[in-house]
Structure 1
């Protein structure tokens, strides 16, 4: 019997079967990939949400466990990026605690950011806002804007460079006693 015939003859996998048979494997894999104990339940659920969405796409070109491990790795990578972004935001807030609690300073900072964003071109501004302020990935932004992901990275780098230059100019003006643009 050919492998194609064997593939067709194999019973279709159900989410319940995969969950029952492979839950322990997924749990162990996530733990070994560095997911902290307190986050294992959520990470495991994330894996099985992806499995539920994509089970009909599984073509058995690799073993089920290899496929599950790949999903688990991507879930871990996504969770790490999310934690890293969140930590980065917390670090920024920790550096300027007085501004975080001062409504006037926050309002001034918000107005300045909007003015600086206005100086960016529309494409760079959209990418910067979605990635840096909304926390989306470049892949998500590329899909949403229907452009190549490398274009997103290029626009993001350019936007960051332009914003840093504009912010430095504002800081220089402030240090000289002038008002920011």
Structure 2
């Protein structure tokens, strides 16, 4: 049974609600698409500026989450293209957030994220997008294909290739042959 659809967002208050509900998803998606934390912060805001401008264009042919991810993918791609011509090197790091878990837990989580980022960096943009959407954000493969505007079989093919590449990366890491 399909869940009832909400009316399309139309006001600034709706965008604010969307940001509260979906901002963490968009930020995580941007990070997993290869952006550093500070760029993800800025581009997350950029995604919601675009959402505000395009509210009336949302036709509900896909889920809101899928629509937001599609915008995030395009914003990340545009940012990467711009970054190739920029000569800036980010130097400042954000302070660590205060957490209630212990230092060993935080260290293990940071290390796991670092390894995931390294594994994702081995993938080209198309494979990476499919892998992130399906494996990490747990969208259905139909939604993945729709967001990436590719045939369903192509999305499955990219996922299969991405999984093999990620598994190979971790096999090499276990052997100590990863750079």
- Both proteins in one fold, TM over 0.5: no
TM-score by length of structure 2 reads: 0.42
Q: Which has the larger radius of gyration?
A: 1
Structure having the larger proportion of residues in helix: 1
Comparing both chains, which one has the higher relative contact order based on Cα–Cα distances under 8 Å and sequence gaps of 6 or more? Answer: 2
